Amino acid sequence: MKSIIKPGMTMFDICEELESTARKLIKESGLDAGLAFPTGCSLNHCAAHYTPNAGDPTVLNYDDVCKIDFGTHINGHLVDCAFTLTFNPKYDQLLAAVKDATNTGIRAAGIDVRLCDVGEQIQEVMESYEVELDGKTYQVKPIRNLNGHSVGQYRIHAGKTVPIVKGGEATRMEEGEVYAIETFGSTGKGHVHDDMETSHYMKNFEVGHVPLRLAKSKQLLNVINQNFGTLAFCRRWLDRLGQTKYLMGLKNLCDVGIIDPYPPLCDQKGCYTAQFEHTIILRPTCKEVVTRGDDY
């Protein structure tokens, strides 16, 4: 994908291209194999959970910092990975900091390792980097309210969090667990908040039966259950399935707690954020990085 994505492309086309390539490679088959969540392509001060909705005219520019976050699954066994794409070399140190921090987290992870110790090592490495942008020097800050996470079957966030700063929980990693080790660095405050229009949604894993009055909500929930189950989805994917005029039904499903919305997460305007992520399995005798390739 790195060779395909170029300045001047719309974010919509980038995501459609990446997703159609992934669908073919994984031989998409309903809930048995396919995409694990929408392609994130968050730009600049936006760190996560942005994918374009229909009609979004945003174009990728030469000076943008774009986080490509994507995942696939077979029978609900997920991989979650991300890299940051830039065209201007002035961001190289920002990317180096976050890549080094993620690799540090992967090295630190292991059976019986405390999650807080992983976070402390990640923070130490990331904060050792500085980046100079337009004559001003910034220490690279970990985004303290974003973190890695354990991964379960058909469940992208399975309950344990891997912090990227010190002071996290002393819970230990265990044999057989799968983790998405991801770190985010920023030239801003190092803290994100909800912003912009929501595109990502996911069924609440714990929710039981909730009676629905609106026929449109019932119909939409059936579509979600059949096509996504408890995996995340986006509005583009509902459009692709031929769903129309579904926003009121979707809002209703969110209001009653069946579906959770995941709005874009942004640091302060004008700053830049980067992300790198890999999925690891803690096997009895080794630690396997399942998303490592020859490109990152």
DSSP 92-116: HHHHHHHHHHHHHHHHH--TT-BHH
Task: Classify residue 134 as left (phi > 0), alpha (psi -120 to 50) or beta.
Answer: left
Is position 149 annotated in a ligand binding site? yes
Is position 191 annotated in a ligand binding site? no
Catalytic residue among 19, 64, 182, 267: 182
Helix axes 92-108, 115-126, angle to 10 degrees: 160
Would you call 98 exposed, middle or buried from its count of C-beta atoms within 10 A (0-12, 13-18, 19+)? buried
User: Which amino acid is located at 83 in the chain?
Assistant: F
Q: Are the C-beta atoms of residues 186 and 143 closer than 8 Å to each other?
A: yes
> What is the distance between the alpha carbons of residues 263 and 51, in angstroms, rounded to a whole number?
10
Is position 157 annotated in a ligand binding site? yes
Is position 182 annotated in a ligand binding site? yes
Is position 77 annotated in a ligand binding site? no
Catalytic residue among 19, 80, 100, 120: 80
Can 149 be counted among the known catalytic residues? yes
Can 277 be counted among the known catalytic residues? yes
Catalytic residue among 69, 100, 120, 267: 69
Can 69 be counted among the known catalytic residues? yes
- Which of 291, 253, 263, 223 lies closest to 46, judged by CA? 263
Is position 175 annotated in a ligand binding site? no
Can 157 be counted among the known catalytic residues? yes
Catalytic residue among 149, 200, 267, 278: 149
Can 182 be counted among the known catalytic residues? yes
Kind of pairing between the strands at 136-139 and 77-86? unpaired
Catalytic residue among 157, 177, 191, 195: 157
Catalytic residue among 19, 100, 120, 277: 277
Residue stretches of the annotated binding site for substrate: 49, 157
Residue stretches of the annotated binding site for a divalent metal cation: 69, 80, 149, 182, 277
So which residues are the catalytic ones? 69, 80, 149, 157, 182, 277
Residue stretches of the annotated binding site: 49, 69, 80, 149, 157, 182, 277
